Amino acid sequence: MKSTVLQNCNKCGLCLSVCPTYKVLNQEHASPRARLQLINFYKDKKVLSSIGLKEIISKCLMCGSCAAICPSGINHYSQFMEMRTKMRHDHGEKVAIKSLIFLLAKEYRIRLAAGFAEFSQRIIPDNFIEKYNLGNIPVKKFPKLNKKPLRKAVPEIISPEKSKKGTVLYFTGCATNYAFDGTGFATIKILKQMGSEVIIPEKQTCCGIPMLFHGARDQAEKNILINIECLSQDDVKAIIVDCPTCGSALKNEYPALQKQLNLDDTAVQKISSKVIDIMSFILQESDHTDLFETSVKMKVTYHLPCHLKNGLKSSYNTEKILREHPGLEYIQAEDVDECCGGGGTFFYEYPEISKQMVATKLKNARSTGAEVWLTDCPVCRINLSGNLKEKDNMIVKHPVEML
C-alpha cells in the first residue's frame, strides 16, 4: 500500500533519476521531490496559493515513475491530483482544458464532438489546416476519426469463434471508440480466436483520468460511478483494456478514490483485480503462437508507455510476444521505456518540454531502421506519429494490430 504521508519523503533524490520533466529542465523545482515539499509547505500554510505554484504542480506528466521508484512508498499520484484540485479551484483552468473536461464529463458530448470533428476532417481541405498545430503536432497529422464509433459498429455481446473458454469485458476507452477502431477490431478478433465471449458494456464512458489529472474530481465522479456499475459483472474472467492509462485508472485510481468518493469498495476491488491489458492477457491465457500470421516479414520497434510500466506493471509482456513472432524482426530502441512526452495533454500545454523528449525518441527509433513503431497507448501513438517526418517512412500502430 502506497503511503500518502508527505513526511515520509526523505529527500533521497531517487525520483529525480526517473522524472522525465526533471531530465529536460534539470531544475529542482521541476522534480517530484520539490513538488512534495511545496505541497507540504502549502498544507502548513508556509506557501500561499499562486499561479506560480499551480504551474509547478501542473508541469508533470503524471507518468508514475516517481511513485514506482520511491523507497518510502509515497503515493505521488494522490498528492498531485489533490493539489491540482485545489489549484484549479483557486486559479481556474485554460479554456482548452476546461472545454476538454466539459466534453469528457458526458458520453453524449464526446459522441457529438467526435461526430462533428470526423465530418470536419472530411470536408475541410488539408491546405486550410496545414498551418495549424496543437502543441508540436500539426493538426493534419492527428488520426482520422472513426466514421462510426466502435461500440456502435459491433454487437454488445460477441460470441467466440470456437468453444467458449470464458467471458471477458472489453473497456474500449474513448480513443479506440472514436479514433482507433483498428485496435478495437483487432482486439475483438483475437479474443474471439482465443475462445472468449466478449461483452462490450454499452454504457461505459471516459475512465475519468483526464479530468482527475486536471483537478476536476467532481466532474470525473459521475463517469467513475457509471463505469463501476457497468463493469461490476459476475462470472467474468477479465476486464480487457487496450489503453494502459484507462487500465491504470480502473486498477489503481478507482480504489485510491474509494473513501473520498464513497465508492462501493467490493465492486471497486473486484474491478481492480480483473483489469489486464490485451497483450498481457494474450500471453497469460493462450498459446499465443497460434495467433501468429507469417505471410509478411516486418522490422518493428517498440515504445513502452509509462502507465503500462508503472500502472499495470506489464513492462515486458508486449516485447516478449514481439520477440517470439516469426513474422516480425523486433529491434529494441535504446530508450524503449523512456517517456515520449505525450502525457495526456502535456504535449499541448508544455510543447517545448515535450518536444525535447520526443526528439530523443524519434532519433533512437530511426536508428533501428524499423518500418513500424508499436506502442500500446493512444496518446503516445498520437505524439509519436504526429512528430514523425514524411521521409521517415515509418508508421505507428498498437501491437495487437500486428498479430
Residues 31-82 pLDDT 10s: 999 999 999 999 999 999 999 999 999 999 999 999 999 998 888 888 999 9
82 and 65 together in one domain: yes
User: Nine-digit cell at 169?
Assistant: 469485458
Instruction: Decide if pLDDT at 135 tops 60.
Output: yes
pLDDT of residue 21: 96
Closest CA to 40 of 88, 75, 5, 1: 5
**Which domain-ending residue is among 255, 283, 311?**
283
Assign residue 78 the CATH number of its domain: 1.10.1060.10
Considering the domain architecture, whether residues 127 and 169 belong to the same structural domain is answered as no
- The closest alpha carbon to 182, from 221, 153, 141, 212, belongs to 153
**Co-location of 298 and 373 in the same domain:** yes
355, 380: one domain? yes
Task: State whether 42 and 136 are in the same domain.
Answer: no
pTM higher than 0.85 = yes
Kindly report, residue by residue over 88-98, the tens digit of the pLDDT.
999 999 999 99
Q: Is the dihedral of CA 341, 342, 345, 351 positive or negative?
A: positive
215: left (phi over 0), alpha (psi -120 to 50) or beta: left
Q: 349, 351, 344, 354: which is closest to 104 by C-alpha?
A: 344
Burial class of residue 134 (count of CB atoms within 10 Å of its CB; 0-12, 13-18, 19+): middle
- CATH code of the domain containing 293: 3.40.50
Give the number of C-alpha atoms closer than 13 A to the C-alpha of residue 326, restricted to the C-beta side.
8
Contact between 89 and 117 (Cβ < 8 Å)? no
CA distance 400 to 3: 35
Examine residue 359 and state whether it is found in any structural domain, yes or no. yes
Give a yes or no: residue 1 inside a domain. no
Same domain, 319 and 357: yes
Instruction: Give me the pLDDT at residue 283, please.
Output: 92
31 lies in some domain: yes
Q: For residue 155, tell me if it sits in a domain.
A: yes
Residues 300 and 323 in one domain: yes
Boundary of a domain, candidates 254, 283, 312:
283
Number of domains in the chain: 4
* Neighbouring C-beta atoms of residue 251, cutoff 10 Å: 23
Q: Are residues 158 and 266 in the same domain?
A: yes
CA atoms 189, 181, 107, 347: torsion sign: positive
Q: What is the sign, positive or negative, of the torsion defined by CA atoms of 308, 313, 318, 319?
A: positive
**If you search the block for the grid coordinates 464529463, which residue do you land on?**
105
120, part of any domain: yes
pLDDT band at 149 (very low <50, low <70, confident <90, very high): very high
- pLDDT category, 131, cuts 50, 70, 90? confident
368 lies in the same domain as 351:
yes
Same-domain pairing of 269 and 289: no
289 pLDDT band, cuts 50/70/90, is: low
- Asked if pLDDT for residue 288 goes beyond 60, the answer is yes
d(CA 21, CA 31) in angstroms, rounded, equals: 7
Do 295 and 221 reside in the same domain of the chain? Answer: no
> Residue 225 is part of which domain span?
150-283
Per-residue pLDDT band for 127 (boundaries 50, 70, 90) equals confident
Of 283, 318, 334, the domain-final residue: 283
Q: In terms of domains, do 313 and 391 share one?
A: yes
